[in-house]
Amino acid sequence: MNWRLSRHRVHNPAVALAIAADIVREAPDHVALTGDIVNVAAREEFVAASRWMNAFGTPDWISFVPGNHDCYVRMAWEHGLLHLAPYMQGDMRVPLTQDSPQITTPFPYVRLRRNVALIGVSTAAPQPLHRASGQLGRTQLKSLAHLLSDLRERGYARVVMIHHPPLPGLASPRKALIDAAPLRDVLEAQGAELVLHGHNHEHMLNTLNSRFGAVHVLGVPSASLIEEQHHPLAAWNLYRIQRLAGKWQIDVSIRRYDPASRQVAPLTEFTLSS
């Protein structure tokens, strides 16, 4: 009913396919997908999501973290997110992790790609009706602090993937990350080069000052949105990360879907520095 009564008017799977095709054409080294691949976490949605992801790209090319819609209801792992498990597994041992009945792959996970470390955390958990909040929990927060410190010392550009906006005040209380304040404290203490999130369906850029330089926090619109009444049109961000003069430089290109041409085209570009 949620889909048939409202969401089908503003979300179009064909637009998500156009976004995915544009990503494939641009051929980035890696893809970070920050959640909400399904609508209300029904069994058949996960089967369809698995087919869609397999057509999009291989698990070693795409890293996924779940959003609140991916845990909209208490769907058992074997009937739900198990279908996306290969996209949520790291290639580095993480000593301290957590799981849940809905998500049994351990979080955080880390993937190392050349000089970039992608750290996936999960904020997804079933919520009461009319709430869309998320939570990391003490275990993930403690583990993330250790990982950010370790990976900084080893010379990696650290990219944190999270669904909910990670700082206080970036979402309404009904939709916010419950432990955003403790996460902000971790980021201030340990630093990170990028934090990528979704959830708000908006172009967002916030910068946090840490002990080790600027932490750039970026959000993107939904990848399937076809009308601009409440949120921007579907888009994705292309990041180019390189080390220059002892600092990390991040060139950002925002690419947006154009309903008139049914194509994805550049919207704007800018550069961030650590």
Higher per-residue confidence, 152 vs 245: 152
Sequence-ordered strand ranges (E) for the chain: 31-33, 62-64, 109-113, 116-120, 157-161, 194-197, 204-210, 213-219, 235-244, 247-258, 263-273
Among the listed residues 169, 168, 84, 181, the one whose alpha carbon sits nearest the alpha carbon of residue 124: 84
Range of the domain at 17: 2-273
> For the chain, what is the domain count?
1
Supply the pLDDT for residue 129: 82
Mean pLDDT value of segment 208-225: 96
Mean pLDDT value of segment 223-244: 92
Amino acid identity, residue 63? S
Residue 51, classed as helix, strand or coil, is helix
Question: Does the pLDDT value for residue 6 go beyond 80?
Answer: no
Judge whether 119 and 107 are in contact, CB under 8 Å: no
Q: What is the mean pLDDT of the chain?
A: 95
pLDDT single digits (tens) 134-170: 999 999 999 999 999 999 999 999 999 999 999 999 9
pLDDT single digits (tens) 7-43: 778 889 999 999 999 999 999 999 999 999 998 899 9
Question: Does the pLDDT value for residue 58 go beyond 80?
Answer: yes
Mean pLDDT value of segment 202-213: 96
Distance CA 9, CA 3 (A): 9
Supply the pLDDT for residue 230: 83
CATH number of the domain within which 99 lies: 3.60.21.10
